[in-house]
Amino acid sequence: MSVLSSPHFHDEAKAFEFLESVLWSNGVICPHCGVIGGRVYDLAGVRSKASAKNPEGVVRHGLKKCGECRKQFTVKVGTVFEHARMPLHKMLQAVHLMVSSKKGISAHQLSRILEVQYKTAWFLAHRIREAMRSGDLDTPYGSGGGAVEVDETYFGIRKGMKNARAGHAHKFGVLALVDRETGTMRSFTFDKFRADEVHPIVMSNISREARLMTDEAKMYKKIGREFAEHGTTLHGAHIYVDRKDRTIHTNTVEGAFSIFKRGMKGVYQHCGEQHLHRYLAEFEFRYNFRTANGCDDRQRSLEAVKGISGKRLTYNPTNGL
């Protein structure tokens, strides 16, 4: 028995039952009128219209009818899976594969495992990344006086830019914040490493009572005064942990960056700038629900499935998403 031998990964009816149990744990929600736990009827045995491929149509799994507004729906309505044209059980397999491989999984590999076309796999992977995207923070990092590490990194090459040797102008910029107390991270892209881009991110996500941890970059000096404490280490002098106070360092956030960079280098070589935030969301998700935070593959998969509702990814012919 492997994790992937669970029935909802192979049987379409079971896949719908599984998704219903996750998204409707507090009662069925009608996506049309919003009623929760209202009268709902199962429409068993309904088939889709006949087509050349399926002259008798195909069974419409999980079809329901709302007793309040009389409209039909399935649990996929209003989720990132709504308009995806592939069986739900394969999409659930894809979620599991993406959350359980540490560095991520390429669309090519996904297409081979699921036996679907490359484009289908690529698009599905982006739907799942959208499900992994977290919302706004309920509680700012460092609330209660904990340490929050902030650091920036650069990688890749922007479209149309030459790989210049010095400077970062030709690369993508990413700012990450790690809350040491909860062991979770949030990441943001920036265009230029300037106060007007960086300060608003730091101020809106970190509590004033936090102990801010950064390297010696000038950027953090001014904003550091806004916080209860600002610890810096002189990376230029190869000092990575303060000698007097061993809690002053940015090693956690640098560790998170190294996982991200290895994944982007090894698996996602051709990441367009317009998709970068989605890849970041994927790495951020796996980092926040990692084993060290007490989360196994199954729980991580469940968290990602919970994230599919309330988000919709529509096809945009201009940029492929």
Residues near Zn ion (CB under 5 A) are: 30, 32-33, 66, 68-69
> Nearest to residue 232, comparing CAs of 207, 211, 210?
211
Q: How far is the CB of 23 from Zn ion (least distance, A)?
A: 16
Q: How far is the CB of 61 from Zn ion (least distance, A)?
A: 19
Question: What does the CA dihedral 73, 78, 83, 86 come to, rounded to 10 degrees?
Answer: -80
Whether residue 3 contacts residue 92, with contact meaning beta carbons closer than 8 Å, is answered with no
Q: Which residue, 34 or 320, is less far from Zn ion as judged by CB?
A: 34
Q: DSSP secondary structure string, 127-145?
A: HHHHHH-----SS-BTTTS
Q: Which residue, 33 or 157, is less far from Zn ion as judged by CB?
A: 33
Euclidean distance between CA atoms 102 and 263, whole angstroms: 8
Euclidean distance between CA atoms 274 and 115, whole angstroms: 27
Q: Which residue, 33 or 203, is less far from Zn ion as judged by CB?
A: 33
Euclidean distance between CA atoms 318 and 313, whole angstroms: 14
Task: Mark out the alpha helices in 31-177 (DSSP H runs).
Answer: 88-100, 107-114, 118-132
Q: Which residue, 73 or 227, is less far from Zn ion as judged by CB?
A: 73
Ramachandran quadrant class, 145 (left: phi over 0; alpha: psi -120 to 50; beta: rest): left
Q: How far is the CB of 68 from Zn ion (least distance, A)?
A: 5
Q: Which residue, 65 or 275, is less far from Zn ion as judged by CB?
A: 65
Q: How far is the CB of 44 from Zn ion (least distance, A)?
A: 19
Q: Which residue, 35 or 271, is less far from Zn ion as judged by CB?
A: 35
Q: Which residue, 59 or 69, is less far from Zn ion as judged by CB?
A: 69
Q: Which residue, 30 or 276, is less far from Zn ion as judged by CB?
A: 30
Euclidean distance between CA atoms 101 and 4, whole angstroms: 14
Q: How far is the CB of 88 from Zn ion (least distance, A)?
A: 22
Q: How far is the CB of 31 from Zn ion (least distance, A)?
A: 8
Euclidean distance between CA atoms 112 and 83, whole angstroms: 22
Q: How far is the CB of 295 from Zn ion (least distance, A)?
A: 35
Q: How far is the CB of 24 from Zn ion (least distance, A)?
A: 13
Angle at 126 between CA 321 and CA 287, to 5 degrees: 140
Whether residue 267 contacts residue 106, with contact meaning beta carbons closer than 8 Å, is answered with yes
Euclidean distance between CA atoms 150 and 62, whole angstroms: 46
